Structures are given as structure tokens and as C-alpha cells.
């Protein structure tokens, strides 16, 4: 995993979009905004089972995001994933293979790009604005973890009055990380 501030240039979102000079973001800075990260090893299934038990994740599935894996739905799915949105549940992804980018908003609404690849497990908190895109390899295979039944319901921005969004913002305010 590598995280840094996104350059906001209006070019292919699958490119790295690193600012010059590079503005890295540490795992601790991500944790401060509720984004959790683990690098899992070869025994990733037992490590995922332990994390599931600790965080009360009850269900999982696998998703392959590629032109071959999504077929005719590929372009529309990639576009949907890259729309800025939030969820009323955590978004948990373990990368089995491939790579991509999660972009999350920090406490003052700047984009942080998180490059993920094989072995990375990422937890985005309920209520955080985010988006996802593949990188130029156009392939990622992930395990998705869920607290309840598998669901993926994006609530596109603006959703500032959404209870999950308000809860998230209040958690940042309590830490002095946003207005």
C-alpha cells in the first residue's frame, strides 16, 4: 500500500496522479481519518478469519474486476465505482491479485490516493466519501467482507445530511481533524 495526495489533474484516473513534489500519507494519517490497513502474508485466509472475528464481519464474497470478469458491464461498473460516494457500512477489501486505487477524502476535503495490490487489506469507515478505479493493469481480484448480508449500495455525493456521513464527520471533529 502506498498513499499520497492526489494531483487533481483531469487525465485518465487509472494513472497514479502523484503530486510533484510527492506528498506521502502515512498509515497513521489514514488511521486518523478512520481508514485501516493490513498487509497480509501467505496465510491470508487465517489472518482474514481473525480480523473478521475481531471486527464482527460475518459474510464474504470474491469479485474480479476486469474487462473479462465484468464483460459488457465493465465500462458502466468502472464509471460507477469512480463516482464519489459513501456507504452506510464499512467497505472492506482484501486484494488477492492485481492492483487499483481507492481515493478517500481527508478531513478538509482533499483527495488521498491509496494504491493497493496483492496482500493489502483496506477498511474504509462508514460515511467516508471515496471512489475506486483500476490502475492501468485493468485487473483486480478481491475478497469483500461484510458485517451482514453482502451488499454494496453507493450513496453519491452530496450526502452530507446522511446519518452515516454525520456520524463520520463527528468522529473527525472529536479528533480535531475537520471543521
Does residue 85 have a known ligand-binding role?
yes
Angle, vertex CA 103, rays to CA 102 and CA 108, nearest 5: 150
For residues 84 and 156, the answer to whether their CB atoms sit within 8 Å is: yes
- Hey, what's the cell of 55? 471486527
Does residue 17 have a known ligand-binding role?
no
Evaluate the omega torsion of the peptide bond into residue 158 and state whether it is cis, within 30 degrees of 0.
yes
The Cα diameter of the chain in Å comes to: 45
**Binding-site residue positions for Ni(2+):** 85, 87, 91, 130
**Binding-site residue positions for Fe(2+):** 85, 87, 91, 130
**Binding-site residue positions:** 85, 87, 91, 130
Amino acid at each position: 500500500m502506498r498513499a499520497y495526495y492526489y494531483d487533481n489533474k483531469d487525465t485518465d484516473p487509472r494513472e497514479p496522479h502523484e503530486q510533484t513534489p510527492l506528498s506521502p500519507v502515512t498509515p497513521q494519517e489514514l488511521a486518523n481519518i478512520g481508514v485501516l490497513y493490513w498487509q497480509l502474508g501467505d496465510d491470508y485466509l487465517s489472518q482474514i478469519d481473525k480480523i473478521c472475528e475481531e471486527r464482527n464481519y460475518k459474510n464474504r464474497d470474491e469479485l474480479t474486476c476486469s474487462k473479462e470478469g465484468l464483460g459488457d458491464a465493465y465500462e458502466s461498473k468502472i464509471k460507477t465505482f469512480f463516482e464519489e460516494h459513501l456507504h452506510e457500512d464499512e467497505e472492506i477489501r482484501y486484494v488477492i491479485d492485481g492492483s487499483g486505487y481507492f481515493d478517500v477524502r481527508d478531513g478538509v476535503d482533499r483527495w488521498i490516493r491509496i494504491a493497493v495490490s496483492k496482500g493489502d487489506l483496506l477498511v474504509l469507515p462508514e460515511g467516508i466519501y471515496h471512489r475506486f478505479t483500476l490502475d492501468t493493469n485493468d485487473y483486480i481480484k478481491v475478497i469483500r467482507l461484510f458485517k451482514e448480508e453482502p451488499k454494496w449500495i453507493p450513496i453519491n455525493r452530496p450526502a452530507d445530511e446522511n446519518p452515516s456521513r454525520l456520524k463520520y464527520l463527528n468522529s473527525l471533529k472529536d479528533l480535531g481533524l475537520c471543521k
